[in-house]
């Protein structure tokens, strides 16, 4: 919406990042603005506004929001250089966007606590006290503690090059949990209770390809190779490409879906044209289907991936093939599914059956 009479301004409104659209009274322009997806009117600001996201920043020609822009505003000036140094090192190491986001948020928590104390002056004892505070006062989970330790460790070891600072700081023991999954019957019920063609196709592809939700929503039309009956998973976790088998049933639904929706770049477009479907909306699709199917079992979209791997094991597929399909670096990660498969358990008869009583 390029117009010299229009001014755009990114602000926080009602605790949300939005973009305000200011212009002099103009009926034709007002009608154009009112057609924007998700447009709202602010009586306080006397202006229209939309959600601050990549789609609208590109559309309005606004520079992309810098990583950690909101976090930086809350950090004391003395520690802002440390925060920026962490971001720059993460970017130079070409780590994933999710790692960059997690590390920046977790490191920022330490900087908030330190206030005007320079983080560069922290020794092992002070860091140890901080982690005790996270454990005893904030009551962080084991997973959250590992994430926070990794972020702080990255700063001191990779940015400041202090390799010995963490030698005496123990890590919490990780809980060992079996993967959450659905039975074949539950998968069937989930699919039967999904009427929308687009939603059903997404669930089918997620399950039949053992895909992570980020892989599913980021998939492009060109990634489906129907001639070779494979799905190309591009730059997945760990920045690795891999291929997975394409199910004949999934292909049938994909063709029907493509004819109806005509996707251009992303296989599944979201609320805004040219933008991918959101992971949160994908989870909402699964939750809605579970409710309709009266399935009370906990399980996110990732549980479809766990289910796929376990069901392959149940069918007798070799564990090393499953490792390749899922994209696991370490076979031990795939071996977790041996704990939940019932393939061999069904053959074991209890010694109770040998007793006469």
Distance CA 110, CA 134 (A): 10
Distance CA 187, CA 23 (A): 51
Q: b vs e for 31-53, b when ≥16 Cβ sit within 10 Å of the residue's Cβ?
A: eebeebeeeeeeeeeebbbbbbb
CA dist 322 → 16, 157, 284, 290 (Å): 42, 35, 28, 26
Distance CA 59, CA 2 (A): 8
Locate 300 and state its tokens: 């996110």
Residues with a known catalytic role: 212, 237, 302, 305, 328, 337
Q: Which residue is associated with the tokens 């489906």?
A: 224
Distance CA 226, CA 232 (A): 11
Do residues 33 and 21 make contact, with C-beta atoms less than 8 angstroms apart?
yes
Q: Which residue is associated with the tokens 């990634």?
A: 223
Locate 24 and state its tokens: 């002099």
* Sheet with strand 7-13: strands edge to edge: 7-13, 16-22, 47-51, 40-42
Dihedral sign, Cα of residue 115, residue 116, residue 119, residue 123: negative
């Amino acid at each position: 919406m390029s117009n010299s009479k229009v001014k755009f301004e990114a602000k926080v409104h009602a605790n949300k990042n939005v973009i305000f659209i200011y212009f002099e009274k103009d009926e034709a322009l007002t009608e154009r603005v009112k057609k924007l997806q998700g447009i709202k009117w602010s009586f306080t600001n006397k202006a229209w506004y939309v959600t601050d996201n990549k789609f609208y920043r590109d559309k309005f020609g606004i520079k992309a929001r810098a990583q950690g822009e909101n976090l930086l505003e809350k950090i004391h000036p003395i520690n802002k250089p440390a925060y920026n140094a962490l971001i720059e090192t993460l970017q130079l190491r070409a780590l994933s966007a999710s790692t960059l986001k997690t590390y920046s948020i977790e490191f920022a928590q330490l900087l908030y606590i330190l206030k005007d104390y320079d983080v560069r002056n922290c020794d092992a004892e002070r860091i140890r006290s901080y982690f005790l505070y996270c454990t005893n006062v904030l009551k962080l989970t084991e997973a959250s503690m590992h994430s926070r330790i990794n972020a702080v460790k990255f700063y001191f070891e990779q940015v400041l090059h202090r390799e010995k600072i963490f030698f005496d700081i123990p890590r919490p023991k990780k809980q060992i949990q079996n993967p959450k999954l659905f039975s074949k019957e539950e998968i069937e019920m989930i699919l039967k209770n999904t009427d929308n063609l687009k939603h059903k196709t997404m669930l089918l592809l997620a399950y039949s390809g053992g895909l992570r939700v980020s892989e599913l929503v980021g998939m492009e039309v060109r990634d489906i190779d129907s001639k070779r009956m494979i799905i190309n998973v591009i730059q997945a976790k760990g920045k690795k490409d891999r291929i997975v088998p394409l199910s004949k049933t999934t292909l049938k639904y994909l063709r029907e879906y493509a004819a109806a929706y005509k996707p251009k770049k992303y296989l599944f477009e979201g609320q805004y044209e040219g933008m991918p479907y959101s992971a949160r909306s994908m989870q909402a699709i699964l939750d809605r289907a579970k409710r309709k199917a009266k399935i009370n079992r906990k399980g996110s979209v990732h549980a479809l991936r766990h289910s796929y791997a376990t069901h392959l094991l149940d069918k007798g597929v070799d564990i090393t093939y499953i490792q390749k399909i899922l994209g696991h670096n370490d076979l031990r990660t795939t071996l977790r599914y041996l704990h939940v498969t019932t393939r061999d358990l069904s053959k074991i008869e209890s010694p109770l059956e040998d007793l006469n009583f």
